[in-house]
Structure formats: C-alpha cells, structure tokens
Chains A and B, each alone.
Chain A
C-alpha cells in the first residue's frame, strides 16, 4: 500500500484514494465532429505502459480533489504529484 502526497492535504495512505486511470486525455470539445475511430481513440484506448505513467487520482476519502501523479508502474514509485491542468514535471 503506497503513500500519496495529496497536493491539498499532504501524505496519506493509498486506501484514502481512488485511481482514475490515465491522465491528460482531454474530452473532445466537439464530439459530434469526430469519426467513430477518433471517438473510440478517446473513449477506449489507453497506453498501460510499464514504467513512468501519468495517472489521475482522487482523494476520495479526504478532500475529494482530483490531481495527477507520475507513477512508475513497475515498482509503484511516485515520481511527482501535480495539480489538474498542470503539465507533468517529469518525463
């Protein structure tokens, strides 16, 4: 069980949080303009990489704020925590 440094509350146990999948997938502004394939790309396709992955997390049993983390999926090390709308501070 890892520790996550919530940008609003500080370090808390993983059990207080909810994972929200891959980060930086923006909902298309004009969905109706998209082809089936383009919409499917947004809706279904996820990278699921081994290594540093950018993820959305929600402090569900705390401040309920969403934020992003950069987590190495091979060892669960969290490289960075950053707020929604910010660019990832690590590569």
Chain B
C-alpha cells in the first residue's frame, strides 16, 4: 500500500500541514483538511470495514453523511472511544486513532466472512425464524450471536468531554450552504432579516465549490469562482450568522429544530482541553429554508458492494476537494449525465478513465461529446452484470440491455479496473422536510419524491426540491425565496448559465443479470446487507406495507437510515407488486438525521445537574451527624443516622426504640404545605377531603384523606384551622406539587365561584417533629413560655408561640403514635431551633431518626403511606378507613365513585396486617401473597406493601393488600419465595397501642 494517489491541486487541503494518524494500528499520513476517508483513499486504502451480516469486505462508498460502509471506531481509550463514526465526515487531526468495526480478528481476515459463503442459508428473517426454536436453545445461541453482531463498542467510562445547549431565535434559518442556500442567505440577510445559515461540512459552497469545469458556468465565470465571491460577500453581512460543521438533526413542528455544532472534533487532541466539544442548538425560526441538496443513488446489480465501488459524485468530490484519485484504472457506470462530470474532472487531472458504461442507448449532451473526444470508450445501452475481486474490485463484466431494460442480451464483455464510480441519478434529501410533517409527491419523469405540502412556514429550494440543473436551481431559488420572504430588493438579475449536461435518465431499479436472482447479491442496503433478493422474498412471504418490508428485511434500519438504498427498495417493491411508485409512500424518516452523541443530547445536565436537588434548612446538620440520605422526589431526606459500625438495620432498630422509650427527633420540613385563605375555605375543604371540616374549631388540627374523582386515595395529611377563613394544609412530600395543581384546577375550572386562595408555603417553614414520652419536657425547655399541659394543649391542636422573639407554630400531631410536637418556624431559623431541641433533649437521650425509622414507627401503628401502601387502585374502604369517609356530606371529590359497581365489590384488594409464623422472619416488600400453593396456576391474592422488624414488639410485622382481606382476620396465607414458602397470618393492621394511650403518655 505504498501508492500515492494524491494530485496537487486542491484548495481545501493544506499540503504544507502534514498529519499522521493510525488506522487499524498502521500509521498513515494525510493533510490538514482531509477527512479520514480522503486520507485513506490517498494511501490507496479502500477496505475499511466488514458488512453487518455477511461480513463482506466493504470500502468507502460516499464522501458525506450518507455513508453506509465506512463507519469506524474512533479513539482507542475507554472513555472517549466512539462507535459508528463516518470516516467520510471526521476530519483528521494529529493523533487520530481509528479502527474497523464488525470484524474479528481483523478487517483483512474476518472469521465472520464464512457467513458470505453460507448466505443461501441466511435469508431475510433468518434470525427470527431459526433461533426461536427450540425456545430453550436461545441461551446457547445467544453468546455467539451477540459476539458476532453489533457495530462497534461503546465507551466503558464516563465521557470526559463538555457539551452544552444553546437557544437560537432567528427570522430565517437556512439549512445547507450550497448554491441555493448561499443565494437565499444573501437575499434574506440583505433585506434586514436575522438569518442563520448552517452546513454540516467544514466549508461553504456545497458540492460545486471546487468545481473547475468549463461546462458549469454562471455569468461567464466558472461556478466555483462565482460562488467564492458570493461567500466572501455574505460573510461580511452583519445580520447573517454562519455555522459550519453544524448538522441539523431534527425538524419538529412550529419550526423548532435541533442542530449539532461540532466544535472540537477536528482539532488535535492537545488543543481540545476545556473546550466545549458539541453544542446542541435549539433553534426556533420564524421561517425555515431547506437547501439540503440531493444524495446520489447507487445502482443495483450483482456484487455492487466491493471495495473500490463508489458513487460517481464521491469520486468527483475526492478529486475536486481533496486532490485524491480513487484508483488508477477507473470505470464509471451510470444511467444519467452525472458520471460525465466526474469523467471530465478526471480528464482535467490526467486520471485514467477506462470506460463509461451507460444504461442509455442515446446520449446527447455536450459533456458526453467532450468525454468521447478524450478517447474514453462509452458503452451505450449496457449494464454491469458482475464485478470481481474480493477485497478490492479488479474487474467487471458488462452486457447489453434489451430494449425494455428487463433482460440482458448479447455477449458478456470483461473489463479490468481498480475503481468503479456508479450513478443512478439523484434523490432529493427530503428527510428534514418529512420529519417536520411535510407530505411528498412522486414525480414520474425522473422518479423522485419531492416536497408537496409544507406543514409550517418553510420552503425547500435547490436540489432537495427536485431542481437538479443549475438553471432550475438559480431561477427557482430567486423566484421562490422572493415570494416566501416577501422581499423585492435583491441583487440577482438574470443568470447566464452554461452547463454541459442533459437531464435524460434511464431508470431501472433492479438491473437485469444473466444469472437468476437467487444467485445474485445485489445490495440495496449496504450497511444491513439487505439485497434485492431479500426484498422480493419479503413480498413473496406476504408483506405489502413498506413499513413491514423494512422491518422484515432491515432495509434502511442502519445508522445511515438507508439514505442510499431506500428509493431502490421502494422501486423494487412497486415493480414486483405491480403497483405505482408513490402509492406506497415512503418509510418514515425519524430524527436524528445523522447520529447524535449522548453527550450532545444531555448537554450540561449531568451528575449533580441532572435534576434539581432540594435540601431542607437542617440538611447541613444531618451531613455533619453522619446521616445517610434517601431521595424523595427531588428532596434529599435523612434516611438513618448510623453510629460507629452500625449497619442500616442496627441504626433503625436503635432509633425506633429510642423514639418510643425516650425521645426522637425528625426533620419533617419536606412535607408539602399549602396556605388556604378565603371566605369559602371551609366549604372548599369539605369538597376536597372525604371528611367534614366546617365544625373544626380554630386552633385545632384534623387528618384528611383526599381522593381522585375515581374514588382512589390520592393524598393525605393534617390540616389546621388558623382562623375563621384561614387554614394550612400539609401534604405528602412527593405529592405537594400535584396536590396544589389539582386544587387550583378545581378552583379555576369547576368552582370559580368559591372565594379561596392557595399559596404553596412548603419552602417557607422548617418543620421539626419531637416525639416520645420525654417530648413534652424537651419542647417545654425550648419554649418555656408555652403551657404544654394536656388540658390547654391537647392532641390535634396547635399553639402560636415564640422562640427567642421569633414566631413559630407548634402542632401536637403524631405520625408515630407517640406524644409528639411539631415546631414550624421560618426556614432560616430551622437549623438553630433543631440544635436547641437536641441540646434540650440531651438528658433524655433524644435520638435523631430518619425516614426509615419513621416508616417503621408508623407501620407499627398501621398508618398508611400514600404511594407505598396505596397505588391508585385503593379506596378508603379498601384501606379499612371507612371512619374518615363522611356519610353526611352531599358531595366531595370521588364520593360518587365509592359506590360504583366495581368499588363496592367484596373481593377487592384490601389492606391488612400480616404476621409471620416465625417472628424473626421479615417479609420482602412486593412479595406475592397466595392461599393455595398447589393450585395451578397459583392465584395471586395480593402483595406485601410494607414490612419491618419491630424492635418495640420484638417481632416481624407487615402490611399488605389481599383480595377480600377484611374478612380474613386470623386466616393463614403463604408468601412463596424463591427458596421457601413463608407462612403468615392475617392480622389487624394496627399492631401497637390500638387504644392510642401513648399519645398522652409521659415518663
């Protein structure tokens, strides 16, 4: 591989700046401006990968983002390595390391290549059909299939690079900076519109920017010179922002687009430090102009996938842009005039063109005459029927096409070559247009889908709109952009265009062969190894919808999303099924247009910034005192406070005992708090809670249960009456935002006549709960002025007080069943009051406890936790909480649903207590509950919702929901586990102090 195929005459490549890089462990050299693909081709390397299914050798096929074959693994370290990078897009930099994918042990010798020989045994759907039987064998197949499948390796460590997101608002977004995009940008920006022009390449000007052909002229200037002047002019325009290396990934409704700006991938590694790698642009444009160009189609013939076979336009780009020839012995194969432009580029540089094989019998363009003048043999009305060479094409054979193009006739002619450029005409790049919801129409004469109905304020111009000739592009761009932007003042007058090409084309989706189809490998989707044969098989097996054929054959399902072959698949389907093209529609193009890295998608929202973290005012104390934390919604809550070598169980047992025997202290600041005011506040509470509120005296607290309209428990909490028309409601920690939303919804939409105002005050107060038989002594020390006697300050009441002149509210409510006081104080005093309580409780063994102990203590009392013991299918009746459902109230949210035929059934799942036969055995939460273990299938009666070892009762306790559980008191049930069956007895869910004596118990 010592050949040098570089020709010195490219403006894009800086030949004074040599760059070394490694591909498959071998060092090569290229120049600044090269892509990995162009640098490899300059070194005469075509074989870059193996195909997905048959592991056939594959080479570089294109020069752009549509590349199906040359996808490589970039970087060799474990944190930055990236699979599926298109060699045609990545610009080389000093130190680049890349390797082939999907081959083992090497791209030159790949064991999977055996699949190519076995291919008659591997038709479409092979894996679905074969490895499903017998089912038990899957485990044995899986290892080998997984090892041989998959493209590339994912990184194993966190991505060290920086990514970010940015919003952009503009009047006009122009996607693509080819001729039409540049003209549109100039027209828009010169008329004062804030314009953004983006292009996925590193340079502006699109495919003709380095075209030096005498046969492509605008106003008597060679197109590339004309374009350079235009680019020079627009780059000075103030209200035009130009972004290169920026690929639009998604075009959503309402002209919302996502684009990835690539900022550092082309820089030497040493220059990337602390720089943003990719930026995701979130663009909201008043108007969008798509000038995304067109993608050249390959041709479908036997063995059309060998390394050395490229699109003819790619051959031309490698010459014009990078000064690289794809071979020394070239042949072109075409059904239209494009290949003649390639031929002329080659002739200009003195690159040998052996022959042009053209499907058309008559060729009548200026350019074709010019090509013939240069002594290039043109085979008119011929087709390629086969190609030769395993790792690189070394020849091909051709035959004449019959008049109708259905057969080949005459003698087979063999030609030798080391590179073949193919052109099957052009497909407008309508991907973004269809993503945005645009509908396509099919144009019969040249067999292309073009934009039809625009779903938003947008326009397609240039070849993505089906305008392929320079005259059409310039004329139509001016006309349609003028109208679209509603502008008059433009620089462009009439264009004088010279082109040498003619629009004629002979479109044959699947070229005929002298072999039967079953013996050919005519690839339609290169990346997924889907052949014409596979598509016909799918039709024979009854698939009709294009979407089904796609999934069955995997056509268009690779990382390239079938940018090259989808049209041929459609063509072959309609030919075989005898339907008209266009009737089937196309498969859906989905974002992203080209793959995005995960880093780009998440931007800065990583680690700590992934989601908001809410901390209570007392958080720092918990940290200092060795708390372990648990996430509750966005809150960090103290979970338990291990001492020395304690594990979680030991800590929770100690905390739980202390809370009942001496005193415990809990940070309850996260509970949702809603301030409710207005003359109808009581009536409002009557409507939203199941129980009655009108008679609650000022200064008193009451527990409330809130349902959804379907009768299911939604939230619970204690609400206190602060004044005649003033309440404060507490909600569960996780439910706070939703409860407020729900209450606002009813107030605004169903009961606008009610005079009620709601404010969330969750963050305004710190809540410190002190419980246990010593609690009264402790809070008395903290607030000595307040009378804590049971007569003056009974359970379920509150008092306003002051601590060091700071107002606070003390509520005597209990979630543990112990005597308990909750101090609510302005947040910023929370930590100091907490510390005061700890200090005051020192002599009473005050023990801080976390959420785990709180859960255990309330379970001993049979208090539910909404969301743990309920799951939106539990009514208050199911929870054995009938006592809280008012019979007298005419209506409340969910009332009517409590006597629907379904909710009054006896065999609904109901909350019960569960006691294990062995008191040491603690059940697993979520475990299934059954009655009859021998029944087949076993009937699932319910599941365990809460389970703990109670240190205060010295036994295991659990809550669970069981079908018809209310009537099962004392009945034995079974919890089947992986290795054993656990016997349990249904019990009352209140395990401790059913009489509630502890609420007033002092030591």
Q: Of A26, A36, A60, A65, which one neighbours B748 at CB under 8 angstroms?
A: A65
Contacts of B284 on A, CB cut-off 8 Å?
Answer: 3
Least Cβ distance of A65 to chain B in Å? 7
Beyond A31-B895, A34-B896, A36-B900, is A3–B745 a contact (Cβ under 8 Å)? no
Beyond A31-B895, A43-B897, A75-B455, is A58–B253 a contact (Cβ under 8 Å)? no
Say whether A64 faces chain B, with CB atoms less than 8 Å apart. yes
A56 to B901, CA, bound (A): 30
A1 and chain B: residue at smallest CB distance: B256
| Interface footprint category on B | 20 to 34
A86 to B253, CA, bound (A): 28
Least Cβ distance of B903 to chain A in Å? 10
Which of A25-41 touch B at CB < 8 Å? 26-28, 30-32, 34, 36, 39-40
A3 to B896, CA, bound (A): 38
Beyond A1-B254, A32-B896, 9 extra complex contacts between A and B, CB < 8 Å: A1-B253, A1-B256, A3-B284, A26-B750, A27-B750, A39-B900, A65-B748, A84-B749, A84-B752
Name the residue among A28, A31, A75 with the largest chain B CB count within 10 angstroms.
A31
Least Cβ distance of A24 to chain B in Å? 10
Which of B681-712 touch A at CB < 8 Å? 709-710
B710 and chain A: residue at smallest CB distance: A43
Beyond A56-B749, A84-B752, is A32–B890 a contact (Cβ under 8 Å)? yes
Shortest 3 CB-CB contacts between residues of A and residues of B: A31-B896, A2-B254, A66-B748
> Do residues B254 and A32 form an inter-chain contact, with CB atoms below 8 A?
no
Say whether A18 faces chain B, with CB atoms less than 8 Å apart. yes
Contacts of A10 on B, CB cut-off 8 Å?
Answer: none
Say whether B252 faces chain A, with CB atoms less than 8 Å apart. yes
| Interface footprint category on A | 20 to 34
Say whether B891 faces chain A, with CB atoms less than 8 Å apart. yes
Which of B237-257 touch A at CB < 8 Å? 252-254, 256
Least Cβ distance of B864 to chain A in Å? 24
Which of B864-900 touch A at CB < 8 Å? 890-891, 895-897, 900
Say whether A89 faces chain B, with CB atoms less than 8 Å apart. no
Pair count A-B, CB < 8 A: 53
Say whether B744 faces chain A, with CB atoms less than 8 Å apart. yes
Least Cβ distance of B111 to chain A in Å? 47
Least Cβ distance of B872 to chain A in Å? 14
Contacts of A36 on B, CB cut-off 8 Å?
Answer: 900-901
Least Cβ distance of B440 to chain A in Å? 15
> Do residues A58 and B252 form an inter-chain contact, with CB atoms below 8 A?
no
Say whether B389 faces chain A, with CB atoms less than 8 Å apart. no
A18 to B744, CA, bound (A): 13
8 contacts between A and B (CB under 8 A): A20-B745, A32-B890, A32-B891, A58-B741, A66-B748, A75-B437, A76-B253, A84-B752
Contacts of B741 on A, CB cut-off 8 Å?
Answer: 18, 58, 60
Least Cβ distance of B767 to chain A in Å? 25
Name the residue among B455, B749, B891 with the largest chain A CB count within 10 angstroms.
B749
A56 to B750, CA, bound (A): 12
B747 and chain A: residue at smallest CB distance: A66
B901 and chain A: residue at smallest CB distance: A36
A1 to B591, CA, bound (A): 14
Least Cβ distance of B490 to chain A in Å? 30
A65 to B744, CA, bound (A): 8
A64 and chain B: residue at smallest CB distance: B744
B711 and chain A: residue at smallest CB distance: A43
Name the residue among A1, A26, A56, A65 with the largest chain B CB count within 10 angstroms.
A1
Least Cβ distance of B252 to chain A in Å? 6
> Do residues A1 and B252 form an inter-chain contact, with CB atoms below 8 A?
yes
Contacts of B437 on A, CB cut-off 8 Å?
Answer: 75
Least Cβ distance of B432 to chain A in Å? 16
Contacts of A27 on B, CB cut-off 8 Å?
Answer: 709, 750
> Do residues B896 and A39 form an inter-chain contact, with CB atoms below 8 A?
yes
**0/1 per residue, A1-30, Cβ < 8 Å to B?**
111000000000000001010000011101
A43 to B896, CA, bound (A): 10
> Do residues B256 and A43 form an inter-chain contact, with CB atoms below 8 A?
no
Contacts of A28 on B, CB cut-off 8 Å?
Answer: 896
Least Cβ distance of A42 to chain B in Å? 8
A36 to B710, CA, bound (A): 12
Contacts of A31 on B, CB cut-off 8 Å?
Answer: 891, 895-896
A36 to B745, CA, bound (A): 25
A56 and chain B: residue at smallest CB distance: B749
> Do residues B897 and A3 form an inter-chain contact, with CB atoms below 8 A?
no
Least Cβ distance of B281 to chain A in Å? 14
B890 and chain A: residue at smallest CB distance: A32
Which of A44-84 touch B at CB < 8 Å? 56, 58, 60, 64-66, 75-76, 84
> Do residues A66 and B253 form an inter-chain contact, with CB atoms below 8 A?
no
Least Cβ distance of B393 to chain A in Å? 47
A76 to B254, CA, bound (A): 9
Q: Of A56, A60, A75, A85, which one neighbours B752 at CB under 8 angstroms?
A: A85
A75 to B284, CA, bound (A): 18
Contacts of A18 on B, CB cut-off 8 Å?
Answer: 741
A2 to B901, CA, bound (A): 41
A67 to B437, CA, bound (A): 27
A85 to B749, CA, bound (A): 8
A59 to B455, CA, bound (A): 26
Which of B800-841 touch A at CB < 8 Å? none
A74 and chain B: residue at smallest CB distance: B437
A84 and chain B: residue at smallest CB distance: B749
A34 to B899, CA, bound (A): 11
Least Cβ distance of B279 to chain A in Å? 19
A29 and chain B: residue at smallest CB distance: B891
**0/1 per residue, B743-778, Cβ < 8 Å to A?**
011001110100000000000000000000000000
> Do residues A58 and B900 form an inter-chain contact, with CB atoms below 8 A?
no
Contacts of B896 on A, CB cut-off 8 Å?
Answer: 28, 31-32, 34, 39
> Do residues A3 and B901 form an inter-chain contact, with CB atoms below 8 A?
no
Contacts of A65 on B, CB cut-off 8 Å?
Answer: 748
A41 to B745, CA, bound (A): 20
A35 to B767, CA, bound (A): 45
A30 and chain B: residue at smallest CB distance: B891
Which of B198-214 touch A at CB < 8 Å? none
> Do residues B710 and A58 form an inter-chain contact, with CB atoms below 8 A?
no
A76 to B741, CA, bound (A): 25
**0/1 per residue, B722-757, Cβ < 8 Å to A?**
000000000000000000010011001110100000
A90 to B748, CA, bound (A): 23
A56 to B437, CA, bound (A): 24
Least Cβ distance of B779 to chain A in Å? 37
B896 and chain A: residue at smallest CB distance: A31
Least Cβ distance of B790 to chain A in Å? 41
A26 to B709, CA, bound (A): 13
A26 to B744, CA, bound (A): 16
Which of B273-291 touch A at CB < 8 Å? 284
Least Cβ distance of A87 to chain B in Å? 15
A31 to B898, CA, bound (A): 11
A2 to B750, CA, bound (A): 27
Q: Of B253, B256, B749, B890, which one neighbours A75 at CB under 8 angstroms?
A: B253
Least Cβ distance of A49 to chain B in Å? 18
A18 to B738, CA, bound (A): 12
Contacts of B709 on A, CB cut-off 8 Å?
Answer: 27, 43
Contacts of B254 on A, CB cut-off 8 Å?
Answer: 1-3, 76
Q: Of B256, B455, B752, B897, which one neighbours A39 at CB under 8 angstroms?
A: B897
Contacts of B749 on A, CB cut-off 8 Å?
Answer: 56, 66, 84
Least Cβ distance of B962 to chain A in Å? 26
Least Cβ distance of A88 to chain B in Å? 15
**0/1 per residue, B499-533, Cβ < 8 Å to A?**
00000000000000000000000000000000000
Least Cβ distance of A6 to chain B in Å? 14
Contacts of A75 on B, CB cut-off 8 Å?
Answer: 253, 437, 455
B709 and chain A: residue at smallest CB distance: A43
A40 to B895, CA, bound (A): 13
Contacts of A60 on B, CB cut-off 8 Å?
Answer: 741
A6 to B455, CA, bound (A): 22
Least Cβ distance of A10 to chain B in Å? 14
A3 to B253, CA, bound (A): 9
